[in-house]
Amino acid sequence: MQLRTDLAIEARELAGERVSGTEYKEYCENGLKISRLSVKTPRAKQVLGKEIGTYITVELPSLTDNFRETDDRIKTIGRELRRLLPVNGLLLVAGLGNKDITPDSLGPKTGARVLATRHITGELARSAGLDRLRPVAVMNTGVTGQTGIETGEYILSVVRRIRPSAVIAVDALASRRVERLGRTLQISDAGIAPGAGVGNHRTRINRDTLGVPVIAVGVPTVVDARTFAGDLLGGGLRTVQSISFGHQMVVIPREIDLLTERASRLLGFSINAAIQNAFELKDLISLM
């Protein structure tokens, strides 16, 4: 058993930080600490347990403390996301997760805040002054227990129909530390495995399975109970393996409703800022 985490920065910490076949750098922008980890070789993939690709981690002030819709954080996160997106073409934003389970509702809540524009075309767009909008389609996938359809199958069917240039997949993540819940945001071009954070592995959603680039975006909302207990006890993998309880349990913060609400607003507005960079943030908010 591994210490369960979806965050590449934590996988690097567990591996001892100096892993051959990777590149890592840190920088600050608008008061945010940002790290960029590139996993480049199969050996690095094996050591870290992370797919080959780029992982951008943004460390945030607690989302349960404050959030403003005109926050400069939105612009900063939007720029980081834009660097991984193709310059032109239709984009599909997919909100993954179960809207009825609060820790897993980040994807659907974010999807509801992304501006869908694929249908705004021609004279309608020109007359409304919206002809500079990039085409975007938005879908919320639900979960297999609700639909009977694998999330990857669902997204693939839409990709084949509308042929986007890339997919942005939004999902709740798992961390190994409670203090990172609602304080960390990860963006990656390595795709995503739905349900991996809570041990419910599904088919990976990435370029190989969909045929187009997949940019995964998420905020951690849960910690695996045994990983949390092992961390509290100051041990590593051996300590976690010795803990007999909690293998089907997760720990969530008390303010989980507020956390998912504000995280979805931050992600939704940041995605809009990344995609529709021809418009000012205040104009995008008014369109929403």
Structural element, H or E, at residue 28: strand 22-29
Q: pLDDT per residue over 31-45, tens digit each? A: 899 999 999 999 999
- Concatenated DSSP letters of 62-119: -TTT---TT-HHHHHHHHHHHTTS-SSS-EEEEEES-TTSGGG-HHHHHHTTS---TT
End-to-end CA distance of the chain: 44
9 vs 32: CA distance, rounded Å: 15
The first and second tokens of residue 113, run together, are 């805040």
**DSSP character at residue 197:** G
* Confidence tier at 252 by pLDDT (50, 70, 90): confident
- Higher per-residue pLDDT: 76 or 72: 76
Q: pLDDT per residue over 92-135, tens digit each? A: 999 999 999 999 999 999 999 999 999 877 776 677 667 788 99
Please give the domain boundaries of the chain with CATH numbers for all domains.
8-287 (3.40.50.1450)
Query: 65: Cβ–Cβ under 8 A, 6 or more apart, which residues?
Result: none
